[in-house]
Amino acid sequence: MSELLYSEVENDLRASVRDLLSDRSPWTAVLARTETDQPYDLALWRTLATELGLAGLLVPEELGGAGASAREVAVVLEELGRAVAPVPFLGSAVLATSALLAAGDAELLPELAAGNRTATLGVTYTTAPNAVFPASVHVHNGRLTGRIGSVVDLDVAEFVVVPAVGAAGPELHVVEVSSARVTPVVPLDLTRRISHLELDGVSGRLLATGDAAEQALRSALTTGAGLLAAEQLGLAQWCLDSTVDYAKTRYQFGRQIGSFQAIKHRLADLWAATSSALATSRAAASALATGEDVGVSVAVAAAYCSDVAVLAAEEALQLHGGIGMTWEHPVHLYLGRAKSSQLALGSPERHRAALATLIDLPA
Amino acid sequence: MTDLAAKVEAFLAEHPPAGADPIEFLRARFDAGLAWVHFPVGAGGLGAPRAAQFAVDEAFAAAGAPEAVPAAKVIGYGMAAPTILTFGTPEQHERFLRPLFTGEEVWCQLFSEPGAGSDLATLATRAVRDGDDWVVDGQKVWTSFAHAARWAILVARTDPTVPKHQGLSYFICDMNDAGVQVRPLRQITGEAEFNEVFLNAVRVPDAHRLGAVGEGWKVAQTTLMNERVAIGAHAAPREGGLIGVAARTWREHPELRTPGLHDRLLRLWVQAEALRLTSERLRQGLAVGQPGPEGSAAKLAFATINQAVSGFEVELQGEQGLAYEDWTMRRPLETDWASRDPGFRYLRTKGNSIEGGTSEILRNIIAERVLGLPREPRSDADVAWKDLPR
């Protein structure tokens, strides 16, 4: 049975990330940034990547990374989710990095690990790990042409890892974003941006072909889905904590509203769901770290934590009453993130369908 | 190999489980301190960390070692033993723990009453001092194993003139006393797993009191905390619970499958797996310290998933779901739910959200003790028990 508790090192890592985020990215700053032309906090991203060395957690030391595992990345994502921090960690340090690692890249990874460059994975953000290899981009004479809708963190990426179909089948390329057309989408989630990517005869650097390309993409999406669960967990915990605090300070009918069973029972259920989300997320991170039981652990965590995050954000809004419905309160940032993340990297339903095959419960 | 593992190995070498007399084997295991290693030396333990017990139990199970009868474990191991250990005198440890562990003496719990369920502290069974004894009169209900039990842990009111929590005391009651009458309590499954227990001038020696007079509520808290952990912290394999039964039916009967039921089954499977991982995490966390209120969450989720899965199972059966295996009134000492039919599981699991703390009370416990939310205003806290409306 995998280790489901946090180690001391992981707790220290959490504390340093939380300190930085509470100092540099309070929700007031996140909210203020949403309607500017710089929705991402790139200065914060630089600090996370270079000073704390978090961009290279998954990258081996010989490529300039920290040689850590998915367990540490999960802890970072819990904190980023808790703060709905507007940084491209998921796209660059998780999705693109995992794809490059699986494809055996040694050129871009050191740059990503060092925080010199930012990248993302060129798939539609809703793509599930077991999806068929995307065929919307084609390769002719080494040049890529096609369109990929709704790519996460593309706005601030300098490189994008693109799955494409060549003469001999699946290929994976690294493309410079400056050579492509990027069209931002007005997002439901104000703290994480998506954009459409259009390639018109763009040259790329070939990373992998055939089975290797398919496997690298699947590996990146699996890692992404399993670790997104950690971000969803952190988001759910913030929603629970802030709502519990509010229920203790808000008075109606001469009592703290948290003394009414109509409120406290909902919060007790949410705490129980969040505790279970934590267990599934830890199991997925441990599975990704050890390579054991990855398929089932990731599918369970992704299916479970997606829904718990949405539940937590919706409960937070309802139990805050009118104030939760206002723009000036942060709960809508969490609701948008939670609902978008539910669709991301495979909806709960897609993960359950994947599970059906893995655990032999066919339709 | 740890010291403890070495001790277990040496014990098994000296007392080969194969062909051993179960009682003699369990007595020797107790005397070696390997009954519950987190108990002190002399009380069946070695003063080891609580978490070490899991590995010891696993080692004995792997060796095929004899175990006490199942009826001895639920109340005896799970609730009576930790309470006796925490509040008992050396004489009480000496008298009760060893035969409790071996299963020679089965225990039951005399807590709930017809008028005191969720509000256990309002219970009315009276204990009146008479020389070196207490004389107990009252009625208890939902008592498992009462018809097999040698001893009971009993909470009774020793002072009705003070507020309800302050007037209780905790006793060990002799179930062989002439004043104890046990009647089966038939439940909605048709069986009687539980009993009603009538206490008429039952004499309990003061030497069988656990904790001080008037401190029965505090003692009972220890028992109840252990009850919830006993239910919630058990490590289980994947598909170990009722979901495993439903999954097997699904695999063996393709003709019963529908798309709607498929998605429900997968949702239930995910929920059950999440609960399994939550319990496993709780188990890993028990490595240090006493059971906390977190056990309440596992118990709450256990009730929810069991009811959902067993309801699903009846629907999955189609026509066969209309039938019920057997309404014969029996008094089982153990029930293997997996071998029963879905209708039985459907009815029996309805009790999961009532027994051992209703789901509503568990939510209060989580909200107040874990989340620190304020209590409901209480009208009975400062009123003498005898003056409470009832």
pLDDT for the residue B74: 85
pLDDT for the residue B69: 87
A327: domain CATH number?
Answer: 1.20.140.10
- Minimum mean pLDDT range among A13-22, A348-357, B374-383: B374-383
pLDDT digits (tens, 9 = 90+) for B313-366: 999 999 999 999 999 999 988 878 888 999 999 999 999 999 988 999 999 999
pLDDT digits (tens, 9 = 90+) for B46-67: 999 877 887 898 899 999 999 9
Neighbours of B50 (CB within 10 A): 16
Residues in a beta bridge with A195? A151, A184
Residues A229 and A345 in one domain: yes
Q: How many CB pairs under 8 A join A and B?
A: 126
- Minimum mean pLDDT range among A206-215, B150-159, B255-264, B329-338: B329-338
CA-nearest residue of chain B to A299?
B270
pLDDT digits (tens, 9 = 90+) for A113-158: 999 999 999 999 999 999 999 999 999 999 999 999 999 999 999 9
pLDDT for the residue B225: 74
Is residue A2 a part of any domain in this protein?
Answer: no
* B360:A261 CB<8 A: yes
DSSP assignment letter at B222: H
Residues A39 and A150 in one domain: no
Q: What total number of domains does chain A contain?
A: 3
Residues A301 and A347 in one domain: yes
Residues A286 and A299 in one domain: yes
CA A240 to chain CA centroid, nearest Å: 20
Nearest Cα of chain B lies from the Cα of A71 at a distance, in angstroms, of 15
Instruction: State the residue for tokens 């699986």.
Output: A102
Q: Is B156 on the interface with A (CB under 8 A)?
A: no
Nearest Cα of chain B lies from the Cα of A347 at a distance, in angstroms, of 13
Q: What percent of chain B has pLDDT over 90?
A: 78
* A280:B275 CB<8 A: no
- Distance between CA atoms of B284 and B233, rounded to whole angstroms? 9
CA-nearest residue of chain A to B237?
A1
Structural domains in chain B? 3-102 (1.10.540), 107-214 (2.40.110.10), 221-370 (1.20.140.10)
CA-nearest residue of chain A to B369?
A268
Structural domain boundaries, residue A317? 218-358
Nearest Cα of chain A lies from the Cα of B270 at a distance, in angstroms, of 6
Burial category of B15 from C-beta neighbours within 10 Å (exposed 0-12, middle 13-18, buried 19 and up): middle
Question: Among residues 134-163 of chain A, which lie with CB inside 8 Å of chain B?
Answer: none
Average pLDDT estimate for A221-231: 98
CA-nearest residue of chain B to A302?
B270
Out of A213, A245, A266, a domain closes at A213
Average pLDDT, chain A: 97
In this prediction, residue B377 has a pLDDT band, given cuts at 50, 70 and 90, of: confident
Question: Among residues 242-261 of chain A, which lie with CB inside 8 Å of chain B?
Answer: 244, 247-248, 255-256, 258-261
Residues A55 and A178 in one domain: no
Contacts of B317 (CB under 8 A, 6+ apart): B249, B256, B342
pLDDT for the residue A296: 98
Whole-complex ipTM: 0.94
pLDDT for the residue B228: 53
Average pLDDT estimate for B165-194: 97
Average pLDDT, chain B: 91
Higher pLDDT, B13 or B339: B13
Calculate the dihedral angle through the C-alpha atoms of B303, B304, B308, B310, rounding to the nearest 10 degrees. 0
Nearest Cα of chain A lies from the Cα of B48 at a distance, in angstroms, of 21
Q: Annotated active-site positions of B, please? A: 227
Pairing relationship of beta strands A194-203 and A143-152 according to DSSP bridges: antiparallel
pLDDT for the residue B232: 37
pLDDT digits (tens, 9 = 90+) for B75-116: 999 899 999 999 999 999 999 999 999 999 999 999 999 999
Q: Is B237 on the interface with A (CB under 8 A)?
A: no
pLDDT for the residue B280: 86
Residues A209 and A114 in one domain: no
- Minimum mean pLDDT range among A298-302, B24-28, B38-42, B155-159: B38-42
